């Protein structure tokens, strides 16, 4: 053993070549960070542009121009025996005539259009509720019709030639007179949430769509949550691993990627075609959405079940728990936050889903809110679709407002999911 051990290799960290590699490594890291920041910035810019443009066009729909005036409820027009059968059109006309005494009978037709078509019904409802008003005067705040609303919101440019304007000079003058008399107000547009859809933009609201979406999501949840969890538990905890379960697994993952319009076609053929379920009903919408939400919930549930550490299963099995006791007593409760998060995200997706609902007719024009899941209804996204398709100016702002409402719900749901996940996050 005369051989000396190999000389110790010394690394000279000051060597310029080594220093250069180190610098290059740092530079690469900086570049990566910059790229990440840039893409994040781009994403935020897009989001900002989207929200800003929606808010800019939508905020006007959150207020509505109203006029407060006295309606003369004469006994000629409204009989005290049958207040609901009164001639309220005439009541409105006569009351307007009282405000504008100089307007001729011929111009009256034109003048009447200053008020929303719904004004007469609002007067009627007030009188029916309080018949003692008959023979007296009712002070009521009613919406103005869409063109005047647009005028008040500055959407109609007074400088454009009269021929190209939706309101004539005289009509604008009438409105200005009301305004000078302090009869015009622009309160928060409660009708946007309390009314169902209408042909008249100033009367149209989201109540029907909100209820429709609520019922559809409820049905969707009631179907997809238990079925999804059941399927996931079976696949994850009980099913043998074989070719058959492999095929099922692949198909579930594929189902999650199927375009939603295909589910709509399926629902149209099966639910409406074979089973003759009612068209446009939120119940059918919910079933269709459940088809799409199921794979999401199954995948989320399986991931959550997998994430439960095996040591917990071993502990319970080692004590003599049966497989079912292990799953329902230990694994499922621990996986619940993850399952709920996945479910909420699935439901949020379902809430925004439009195409399948269009196919089963949830884009019908329905002027009353549904009272059950089996009545025809629209949903938020289909309502947006309908309004976006309407020519009246007033619907443009309402479309944006409805999108903002939908986004609001989506943000609330996703926040709930995040909070749930934070709250129950567990360190093993």
* Residues of the shown chain interacting with other proteins in the complex, contacts defined by CB under 8 A: 240-241, 309, 311-322, 325, 330, 334, 426
Identify which of residues 128 and 312 has a Cβ nearer to other proteins in the complex: 312
Say which residue the tokens 């095929």 belong to.
247
Euclidean distance between CA atoms 208 and 285, whole angstroms: 14
Identify which of residues 273 and 329 has a Cβ nearer to other proteins in the complex: 329
User: Helix (H, G, I), strand (E, B), or coil: what is residue 196?
Assistant: coil
Instruction: Tell me the sheet residues that pair with 142.
Output: 67
**Measured in Å, how far apart are the chain's first and last C-alpha atoms?**
54
Other CB atoms within 10 Å distance of the CB of residue 358: 18
Q: How far is the CB of 330 from other proteins (least distance, A)?
A: 6
User: How many C-alpha atoms does 371 have within 13 Å on its Cβ side?
Assistant: 1
Identify which of residues 199 and 426 has a Cβ nearer to other proteins in the complex: 426
**Is 298:228 a contact under the CB 8 Å cutoff?**
yes
Identify which of residues 303 and 334 has a Cβ nearer to other proteins in the complex: 334
- CA dihedral sign, ordered 377, 381, 385, 387: positive
Q: How far is the CB of 365 from other proteins (least distance, A)?
A: 53
Identify which of residues 9 and 241 has a Cβ nearer to other proteins in the complex: 241
Q: How far is the CB of 420 from other proteins (least distance, A)?
A: 17
Identify which of residues 67 and 235 has a Cβ nearer to other proteins in the complex: 235
Q: How far is the CB of 423 from other proteins (least distance, A)?
A: 14
Q: How far is the CB of 4 from other proteins (least distance, A)?
A: 29
Cα dihedral 237, 243, 244, 250 in deg (nearest 10)? 80
Q: How far is the CB of 311 from other proteins (least distance, A)?
A: 4
DSSP 27-47: HHHHHHHHHHHHHHHHHHHHH
Backbone angles phi, psi at 94, to 5 degrees: -65, -35
Euclidean distance between CA atoms 402 and 395, whole angstroms: 10
Identify which of residues 162 and 314 has a Cβ nearer to other proteins in the complex: 314
Pairing relationship of beta strands 66-72 and 184-185 according to DSSP bridges: antiparallel
Identify which of residues 87 and 313 has a Cβ nearer to other proteins in the complex: 313
Instruction: Tell me the sheet residues that pair with 72.
Output: 137
Other CB atoms within 10 Å distance of the CB of residue 159: 5
Identify which of residues 306 and 313 has a Cβ nearer to other proteins in the complex: 313
Q: How far is the CB of 312 from other proteins (least distance, A)?
A: 6
Q: How far is the CB of 248 from other proteins (least distance, A)?
A: 17
Nearest to 122 by CA among 150, 89, 98, 100: 89
Residue 259 C-alpha from the chain's centroid? 20
Euclidean distance between CA atoms 187 and 191, whole angstroms: 11
Euclidean distance between CA atoms 290 and 353, whole angstroms: 11
């Amino acid at each position: 053993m005369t051989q000396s051990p190999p000389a110790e290799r010394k690394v000279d960290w000051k060597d310029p070549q080594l220093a250069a590699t180190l610098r290059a490594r740092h530079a690469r890291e900086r570049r990566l960070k910059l790229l990440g920041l840039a893409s994040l910035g781009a994403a935020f810019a897009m989001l900002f542009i989207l929200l800003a443009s929606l808010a800019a066009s939508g905020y006007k729909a959150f207020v509505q121009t109203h006029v407060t005036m006295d309606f003369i409820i004469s006994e000629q027009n409204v009989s005290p025996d049958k207040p609901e059968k009164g001639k309220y059109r005439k009541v409105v006309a006569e009351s307007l005539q009282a405000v504008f005494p100089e307007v001729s009978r011929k111009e009256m037709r034109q003048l009447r259009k200053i008020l929303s078509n719904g004004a007469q019904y609002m007067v009627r409802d007030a009188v029916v509720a309080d018949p003692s008003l008959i023979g007296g005067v009712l002070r009521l705040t009613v919406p103005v019709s869409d063109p005047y609303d647009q005028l008040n919101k500055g959407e109609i440019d007074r400088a454009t030639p009269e021929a190209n304007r939706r309101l004539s000079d005289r009509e604008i003058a009438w409105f200005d007179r009301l305004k000078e008399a302090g009869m015009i107000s622009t309160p928060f547009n409660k009708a946007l949430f309390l009314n169902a859809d209408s042909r008249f933009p100033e009367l149209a609201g989201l109540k029907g769509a909100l209820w429709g979406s609520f019922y559809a999501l409820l049905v969707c949840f009631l179907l997809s949550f238990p079925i999804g969890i059941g399927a996931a538990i079976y696949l994850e905890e009980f099913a043998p691993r074989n070719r058959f379960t492999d095929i099922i697994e692949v198909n579930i993952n594929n189902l999650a990627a199927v375009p939603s319009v295909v589910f709509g076609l399926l629902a149209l053929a099966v639910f409406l075609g074979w089973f003759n379920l009612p068209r446009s009903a939120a119940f059918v919408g919910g079933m269709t959405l459940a088809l799409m939400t199921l794979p999401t919930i199954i995948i989320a549930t399986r991931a959550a079940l997998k994430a439960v550490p095996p040591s917990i299963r071993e502990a319970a099995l080692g004590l003599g728990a049966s497989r079912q006791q292990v799953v329902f007593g230990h694994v499922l409760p621990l996986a619940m936050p993850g399952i709920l998060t996945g479910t909420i995200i699935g439901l949020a997706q379902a809430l925004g889903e439009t195409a399948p609902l269009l196919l089963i007719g949830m884009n019908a024009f329905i002027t009353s809110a549904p009272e059950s899941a089996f009545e025809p209804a629209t949903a938020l996204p289909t309502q947006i679709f309908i309004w976006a398709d309407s020519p009246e100016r007033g619907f443009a702002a309402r479309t944006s407002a409805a999108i903002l409402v939908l986004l609001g719900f989506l943000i609330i749901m996703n926040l709930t999911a995040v909070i749930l996940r934070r709250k129950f996050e567990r360190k093993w």
